[in-house]
């Protein structure tokens, strides 16, 4: 049984305990006659901590019951390894060392709250005491547990459960359970990335290889042809030294009549034989060239095709992914790499794999031929091969590493230059040209030293490698000469054939030495690609999704709780309702969660709790067509795609007529500035085209929304980035746009919301106030203060 | 400007008061032993009483933040409120001279918690695989095994010789001077330099 299988068996036999048995033993005295496993009376949740009160790494636990909280701390055990994310395994969690524990008990009735405070590398749990009788002690805070970032996620669950208990809310079963799938089921190692459930240790490379091979299926014929070509090519390469050496010297020049006779050449006609041999040799060389060309032609036919197929596959899968996939930092870098991955994978399968097979064939065939010709010389020729192989096996990765460093240094230098050109105004304004030269010099010096390192190592490598090669040929020459002169067992022809083989063997050997690294790189690339191709979007259309032909446009949120990261809710229990055709204004400081509300309504994300309803239907039940067809958004970030102005306006409705496009532009007060541009509606915009100003872009995106003619319109700070005059113009367009539609408008400037039927104020993820403008003013709360602030404090002196 | 400060304020909107608050925000207040008294609280925190010479204020708990955590750990220590807004109460220009030794110790304890960073003393092994690097090191906090992403932001040069390594969760590890490591350790680390 393999080691892996044994491990799997050992782990599967031990289901993970919710509460470790030693924790139960420690807490036994507190739970007389009560079942600790019962979430109602016993322990609700038991989490781990990894630091003690003296800020040392050591194991600890927090156990929460409905009425009290236990904190278990231990003294650090010298020499004990501390495992962090990605290194922890199920077996490293098993308690093996004996340690000193201290148990502290806190009653939930005596505390105001339990909250986590984050530090730079971790956090601590703070308990705020409640003591109504003693004013001095009331509200005092105390640190009760410490942990690194590794354990902060678990501890937030304790924090949240405490909150729920205090609010007497119902606790669902899954809230107290830890996710099981964080660990690889085979080796028990924790996944380095929760969102990518791939265990690097157990990743099945074989299946990736075969799956990638599947992409080659349509090119079966070409691949077979390609292999054949390479095979013939290397076969001819084996024949050439034989013709050039043995046949020429030993048979023809040695006037071997019986050899000539076997080819039907009458004895004595040596010149004829020589002529035929020369022609054969010439033919061999021509064939070699021909097959070389053919091989290149076939490869050139397959490669671009395959790269295209792979890229299309990846890109179309990327489009299906949820927005969260794109915003998470780690996957973001994954995306940009994936396109070059397609090339890497194809390159390997066309250039790498066939040559690998052929090189094995060449090495084996050549060795056999050599041994048949002369075993002593064969040993002499082959004895240095492993050394050459070893040299490149050992040194090539290091050489690449140096190349990589030079690449990085050059890139950093280039970006410094780029940075400087971009900031030329600032550099000049502050007179920092000199110091910038200094900074440049520093980077330049790094490139120089990286370059030197490459050259030095490259020289070293080349010298060593060719030395090994030369030793090989030298040995063959020396032994060959000895055999010819002293032993008379061979003649010149064989020696020449052998030297030909020796020089041809180094190529395949060299190839083999870096093939395995190439293989690993390719498998990594392929794995990243498949990961995206296979990724299951979080936001999915239900198979039986409802399609609506008409909607009224009522939007409602019911008790929605949501956070981009599960443990950090951005919206807490938010409820709101907008009637059909009405306008809701959302006010709140930045970071309060306004844009998140919009993201949920347009279903870029799904709420963790609660519902978002459209015409009374849960948005999760509606088809994407309905959802995207009736909801449009004008946001602060106006993205212009590469293309003409007309194409950008018609982005959501490709079938729009020219007149419709112009009408939309007129309504968005964009028509005038578009006509002023020399190329009118055909003006190219986007990354390579004409630069538009913020206001112009904003107006084009409003035209886009007008043309889309949505029933529900979302305005997310639509006028925040433009000057006052433009804002006025855009505001007019918006007023036209919102007629007859349900509108949700987010704004900093309250003046933009004066037409709103109702308003809500969001603060710290909660609805702080709601009502009409008049109601909120009368309330003299947050909204009132904000309004006063904007009209009085920000007003210019002497104007109002 | 946020809403917090308006909360529960029933009185009429007061422009002057607001302008005063804004002005306060724009001022740099220096705290020294002459105008402030720090004291340990029972729960392991530090409280602050300001004398009347700057503002007669009392804080049950304060947060201690370094302005230059990497380059100047004892200078320009910012004393802030513990609520989410974390407003600055004042600044200590130099911890070594401007406060008494007892206060300094108190504040350093708070900062030790905040900036907790194990120091790597020895590298046992680094293995890079599939976009992650697996570290096996000895630190002043005992042996640690952690994983980092293979990208430039995981290992940061704080100076020519000082490295800060952040693992998958953002736990930090520091190498104060990598040139002092052995040739074998340097070879393993070479990938990140």
Separation in Å, CA of B21 to nearest CA in chain A: 13
Chain B contact for A52, CB < 8 A? Answer: no
How far apart are alpha carbons A794 and B134 in whole angstroms?
55
For β-strands A122-129 and A141-148, DSSP reports them as antiparallel
How far apart are alpha carbons A329 and B80 in whole angstroms?
31
Question: Does the distance separating the beta carbons of A120 and B134 come in below 8 Å?
Answer: no
Please name which of B4, B41, B43, B44 lies closest in space to residue B21, comparing C-alpha atoms: B4
How is residue B106 written in tokens? 């108190």
CA distance to A86, A325, A476, B130, B165, per residue, from B148 (Å): 9, 20, 50, 11, 8
CA distance to A94, A376, A380, per residue, from A472 (Å): 56, 13, 7
B residues 45-74 near A, CB within 8 Å?
A: 45, 60-61, 69
- Compute the count of residue pairs across chains A and B with CB atoms less than 8 Å apart: 139
Burial class (CB in 10 A: 0-12, 13-18, 19+), B128: middle
User: A148 φ, ψ to 5°?
Assistant: -85, 175
Query: Could you tell me the pLDDT band of residue B139, with boundaries at 50, 70 and 90?
Result: very high
Question: Does the distance separating the beta carbons of B115 and A122 come in below 8 Å?
Answer: no
Average pLDDT over residues B187-191: 80
Q: Say what the pLDDT of residue B12 is.
A: 53
Q: In this model, does residue B144 exceed pLDDT 80?
A: yes
Choose among B132, B147, B171: nearest Cβ to A149: B171
Separation in Å, CA of B117 to nearest CA in chain A: 7
Runs of H (alpha helix) within A535-670: 594-601, 624-630, 645-649, 658-667
ipTM over 0.95: no
Please name which of A363, A293, A636 lies closest in space to residue A504, comparing C-alpha atoms: A363
Chain B contact for A740, CB < 8 A? Answer: no
Residue of B nearest to A142 (CA): B43
pLDDT beneath 70: ranges in chain A: 1-17, 90-96, 172-206, 267, 322-338, 535-536, 565-568, 687-690, 720-722, 793-800
> What's the number of CA atoms in the CB half-sphere (13 Å) around residue A631?
24
How far apart are alpha carbons A569 and A330 in whole angstroms?
21
Choose among A85, A140, A401: nearest Cβ to B147: A85
How far apart are alpha carbons B124 and B122 in whole angstroms?
6
In the three-class reduction of DSSP (H, G, I as helix; E, B as strand; rest coil), residue B80 is classed as: strand
Q: Say what the pLDDT of residue B121 is.
A: 92
Q: Say what the pLDDT of residue B3 is.
A: 40
Question: Does the distance separating the beta carbons of A150 and B142 come in below 8 Å?
Answer: no
Which residues neighbour A320 within 8 Å (Cβ) at sequence distance 6 or greater? A537
Chain A contact for B43, CB < 8 A? Answer: yes
Q: Are A243 and A277 in contact (CB under 8 A)?
A: yes
Q: In this model, does residue B1 exceed pLDDT 50?
A: no
> What's the number of CA atoms in the CB half-sphere (13 Å) around residue A28?
4
B chain contacts of residue A152, beta-carbon cutoff 8 Å: 169
How far apart are alpha carbons B107 and B75 in whole angstroms?
12
Residue of A nearest to B150 (CA): A330
Query: Which of A58, A81, A82 is best to mutate for the B interface (most B CBs within 10 A)?
Result: A82
Q: Say what the pLDDT of residue A689 is.
A: 58
CA torsion sign, A684 to A685 to A690 to A692? positive
CA dihedral of A567, A568, A573, A576, whole degrees rounded to 10 = -130
Q: Say what the pLDDT of residue B145 is.
A: 92
How is residue A529 written in tokens? 């690609």
Choose among B3, B42, B45: nearest Cβ to A782: B3
A chain contacts of residue B15, beta-carbon cutoff 8 Å: 792-793
B chain contacts of residue A792, beta-carbon cutoff 8 Å: 13, 15
Q: What kind and span of H or E run contains A71?
A: strand A68-74
Q: Look-up: residue for tokens 């503002």?
A: B55
Which residues neighbour A144 within 8 Å (Cβ) at sequence distance 6 or greater? A69, A71, A104, A106, A114, A124, A125, A126, A127
Q: Look-up: residue for tokens 């070509």?
A: A229
Q: What kind and span of H or E run contains A712?
A: strand A712-716
CA distance to A285, B44, B57, B107, per residue, from B37 (Å): 94, 16, 11, 12
Which residues neighbour A569 within 8 Å (Cβ) at sequence distance 6 or greater? A561, A562, A563, A608, A765
Query: Which of B1, B2, B3 is best to mutate for the A interface (most A CBs within 10 A)?
Result: B3
Q: What kind and span of H or E run contains A69?
A: strand A68-74
Q: Say what the pLDDT of residue A685 is.
A: 83
B residues 139-168 near A, CB within 8 Å?
A: 141-147, 149, 151, 167-168
In the three-class reduction of DSSP (H, G, I as helix; E, B as strand; rest coil), residue A98 is classed as: coil
Which residues neighbour A218 within 8 Å (Cβ) at sequence distance 6 or greater? none
Average pLDDT over residues B116-145: 87
pLDDT, tens digit (0-9, with 9 covering 90-100), for B165-187: 988 888 899 999 988 988 888 88
Chain A contact for B184, CB < 8 A? Answer: no
Q: What kind and span of H or E run contains A576?
A: strand A571-578
> What's the number of CA atoms in the CB half-sphere (13 Å) around residue A414?
6
CA dihedral of A604, A606, A612, A617, whole degrees rounded to 10 = 90
A chain contacts of residue B146, beta-carbon cutoff 8 Å: 83-87
> What's the number of CA atoms in the CB half-sphere (13 Å) around residue A312?
7
Question: Does the distance separating the beta carbons of B169 and A149 come in below 8 Å?
Answer: yes
B chain contacts of residue A156, beta-carbon cutoff 8 Å: none
How far apart are alpha carbons A681 and B82 in whole angstroms?
55
Burial class (CB in 10 A: 0-12, 13-18, 19+), A173: exposed
Please name which of A94, A91, A99, A92 lies closest in space to residue A26, comparing C-alpha atoms: A99
B chain contacts of residue A124, beta-carbon cutoff 8 Å: 113
How far apart are alpha carbons A26 and A28 in whole angstroms?
6
Please measure the distance between the N-terminal and C-terminal CA atoms of chain B and give it in whole angstroms. 43
In the three-class reduction of DSSP (H, G, I as helix; E, B as strand; rest coil), residue B117 is classed as: coil
User: A17 φ, ψ to 5°?
Assistant: -85, 145
Residue of A nearest to B116 (CA): A121
A chain contacts of residue B6, beta-carbon cutoff 8 Å: 782, 785
In the three-class reduction of DSSP (H, G, I as helix; E, B as strand; rest coil), residue A762 is classed as: strand
Q: Are A630 and A710 in contact (CB under 8 A)?
A: yes
CA distance to A157, A170, A671, A728, per residue, from A162 (Å): 8, 12, 58, 49
Question: Does the distance separating the beta carbons of B42 and A140 come in below 8 Å?
Answer: yes
For β-strands B155-157 and A111-118, DSSP reports them as unpaired
Q: Look-up: residue for tokens 């020049």?
A: A253
Chain A contact for B15, CB < 8 A? Answer: yes
How far apart are alpha carbons A776 and A793 in whole angstroms?
19
Where is pLDDT greater, at B37 or A273? B37
Choose among A82, A84, A524: nearest Cβ to B142: A82
Separation in Å, CA of A200 to nearest CA in chain B: 7
Choose among B2, B15, B45: nearest Cβ to A589: B2
User: B133 φ, ψ to 5°?
Assistant: -115, 135
Chain A contact for B119, CB < 8 A? Answer: no
Separation in Å, CA of A88 to nearest CA in chain B: 8
User: Looking at chain B, which runs of residues are DSSP E strands?
Assistant: 36-40, 46-50, 58-59, 62-68, 72-81, 88-94, 120-129, 132-139, 142-149, 155-157, 163-166, 172-175
Question: Does the distance separating the beta carbons of A789 and B18 come in below 8 Å?
Answer: yes
B residues 89-108 near A, CB within 8 Å?
A: none
Chain A contact for B171, CB < 8 A? Answer: yes
Whole-number average pLDDT of chain B: 83
CA dihedral of A408, A414, A419, A425, whole degrees rounded to 10 = 160
Question: Does the distance separating the beta carbons of A401 and B13 come in below 8 Å?
Answer: no
Q: How far is CA A112 from the centre of its chain?
A: 42
Choose among B118, B131, B170: nearest Cβ to A149: B170
B chain contacts of residue A80, beta-carbon cutoff 8 Å: 142-143
Separation in Å, CA of A117 to nearest CA in chain B: 9
How far apart are alpha carbons A696 and A367 in whole angstroms?
73
């Amino acid at each position: 049984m393999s080691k892996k299988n044994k491990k799997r068996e050992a782990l599967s036999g031990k289901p993970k305990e919710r509460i470790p048995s030693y924790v139960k033993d420690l807490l036994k005295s507190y739970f007389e006659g009560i079942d600790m496993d019962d979430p109602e009376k016993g322990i609700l949740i038991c989490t781990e901590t990894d630091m003690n009160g003296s800020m040392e790494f050591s194991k600890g636990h927090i156990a929460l019951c409905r009425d009290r909280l236990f904190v278990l701390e231990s003294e650090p055990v010298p020499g004990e390894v501390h495992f962090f994310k990605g290194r922890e395994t199920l077996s490293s969690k098993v308690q093996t060392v004996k340690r000193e524990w201290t148990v502290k008990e806190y009653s939930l009735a005596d505390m105001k709250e339990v909250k986590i405070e984050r530090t730079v590398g971790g956090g601590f749990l703070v308990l705020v005491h409640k003591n109504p009788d003693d004013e001095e002690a009331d509200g005092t805070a105390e640190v009760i547990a410490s942990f690194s970032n590794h354990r902060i996620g678990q501890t937030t669950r304790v924090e949240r459960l405490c909150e729920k208990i205090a609010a007497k809310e119902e606790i669902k079963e899954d809230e107290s359970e830890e996710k099981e799938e964080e660990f690889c089921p085979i080796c028990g190692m924790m996944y380095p990335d929760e969102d990518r459930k791939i265990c690097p240790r157990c990743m099945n490379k074989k299946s990736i290889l075969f799956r990638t091979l599947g992409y080659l299926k349509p090119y079966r014929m070409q691949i077979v042809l390609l292999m054949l070509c390479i095979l013939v090519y290397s076969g001819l390469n084996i024949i050439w030294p034989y013709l050039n050496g043995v046949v020429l010297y030993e048979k023809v020049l040695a006037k071997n009549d019986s050899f000539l006779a076997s080819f039907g050449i009458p004895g004595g006609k040596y010149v004829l034989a020589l002529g035929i041999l020369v022609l054969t040799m010439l033919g061999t060389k021509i064939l070699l060239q021909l097959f070389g060309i053919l091989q290149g032609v076939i490869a050139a036919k397959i490669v671009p095709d395959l790269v295209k197929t792979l890229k299309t596959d990846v890109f179309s899968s990327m489009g299906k992914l949820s927005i969260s996939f794109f915003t998470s930092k780690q996957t973001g870098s994954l995306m940009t790499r994936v396109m070059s991955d397609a090339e890497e994978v194809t390159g390997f399968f066309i250039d790498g794999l066939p040559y690998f097979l052929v090189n094995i064939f060449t090495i084996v065939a050549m060795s056999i031929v050599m041994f048949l010709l002369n075993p002593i010389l064969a040993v002499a020729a082959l004895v240095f091969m492993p050394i050459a192989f070893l040299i490149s096996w050992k040194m090539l990765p290091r050489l690449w590493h140096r190349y990589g460093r030079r690449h990085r240094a050059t890139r950093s230098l280039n970006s410094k230059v780029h940075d400087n050109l971009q900031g030329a105004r600032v550099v000049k304004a502050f007179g920092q040209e000199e110091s910038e030269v200094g900074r440049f010099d520093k980077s330049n010096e790094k490139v120089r030293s990286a370059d030197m390192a490459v050259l030095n190592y490259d020289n070293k490598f080349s010298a060593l490698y060719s030395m090994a090669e030369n030793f090989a040929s030298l040995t063959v020459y020396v032994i060959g000469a000895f055999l010819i002169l002293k032993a008379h067992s061979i003649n010149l022809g064989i020696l020449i054939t052998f030297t030909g083989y020796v020089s041809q063997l180094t190529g395949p050997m060299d190839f083999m030495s870096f093939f395995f690294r190439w293989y690993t790189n390719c498998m990594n690339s392929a794995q990243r690609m498949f990961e995206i191709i296979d990724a299951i979007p979080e936001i999915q259309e239900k198979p039986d999704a409802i399609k609506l032909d008409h909607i009224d446009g009522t939007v409602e949120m019911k008790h929605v709780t949501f956070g981009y990261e599960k443990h950090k809710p951005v919206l807490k229990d938010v409820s709101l309702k907008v009637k059909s055709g009405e306008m809701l204004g959302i006010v709140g400081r930045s970071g309060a969660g306004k844009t998140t509300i919009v993201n949920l309504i347009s279903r870029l994300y799904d709420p963790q709790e609660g519902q978002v309803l459209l015409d009374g239907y849960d948005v999760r039940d509606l088809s994407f067509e309905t959802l995207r067809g009736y909801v449009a958004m004008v946001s602060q970030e106006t993205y212009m795609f590469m293309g003409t102005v007309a194409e950008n306006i018609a982005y959501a409705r490709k079938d729009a007529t020219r007149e419709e496009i112009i009408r939309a532009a007129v309504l968005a007060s964009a028509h005038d500035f578009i006509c002023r541009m020399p190329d009118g509606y055909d003006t190219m915009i986007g990354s390579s085209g004409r630069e538009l100003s913020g206001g112009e872009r904003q107006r084009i995106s409003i035209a886009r929304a007008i043309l889309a003619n949505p029933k529900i319109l979302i305005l997310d700070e639509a006028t925040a980035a433009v000057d006052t005059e433009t804002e006025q113009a855009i505001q007019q367009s918006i007023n036209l746009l919102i007629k007859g539609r349900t509108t949700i408008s987010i704004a900093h400037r309250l003046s933009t919301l004066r037409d709103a039927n109702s308003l809500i104020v969001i603060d710290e993820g909660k609805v702080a106030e709601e009502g009409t403008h008049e109601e909120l003013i009368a309330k003299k709360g947050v909204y009132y203060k904000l309004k006063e602030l904007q009209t009085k404090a920000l007003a210019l002196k002497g104007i109002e | 400007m946020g809403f917090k400060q308006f909360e529960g304020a029933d009185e009429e909107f007061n422009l002057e008061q607001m302008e005063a608050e804004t002005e306060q925000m724009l001022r740099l207040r220096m705290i020294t032993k002459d105008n402030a008294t720090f004291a340990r609280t029972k729960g392991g925190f530090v409280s602050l009483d300001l004398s009347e010479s700057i503002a007669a204020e009392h804080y049950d708990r304060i947060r201690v933040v370094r302005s230059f955590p990497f380059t100047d750990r004892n200078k320009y220590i910012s004393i802030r409120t513990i609520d989410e807004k974390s407003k600055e109460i004042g600044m200590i220009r130099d911890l070594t001279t401007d406060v008494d030794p007892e206060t300094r110790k108190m504040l350093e304890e708070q900062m030790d918690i905040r900036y907790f960073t194990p120091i790597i003393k020895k590298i046992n092994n680094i293995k890079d695989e599939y976009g992650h690097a697996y570290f096996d090191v000895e630190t002043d906090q005992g042996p640690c095994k952690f994983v980092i992403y293979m990208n430039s932001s995981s290992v940061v040069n704080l100076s020519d010789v000082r490295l800060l390594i952040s693992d998958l969760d953002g736990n930090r590890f520091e190498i104060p001077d990598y040139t002092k490591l052995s040739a074998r350790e340097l070879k393993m680390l070479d990938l990140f330099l």
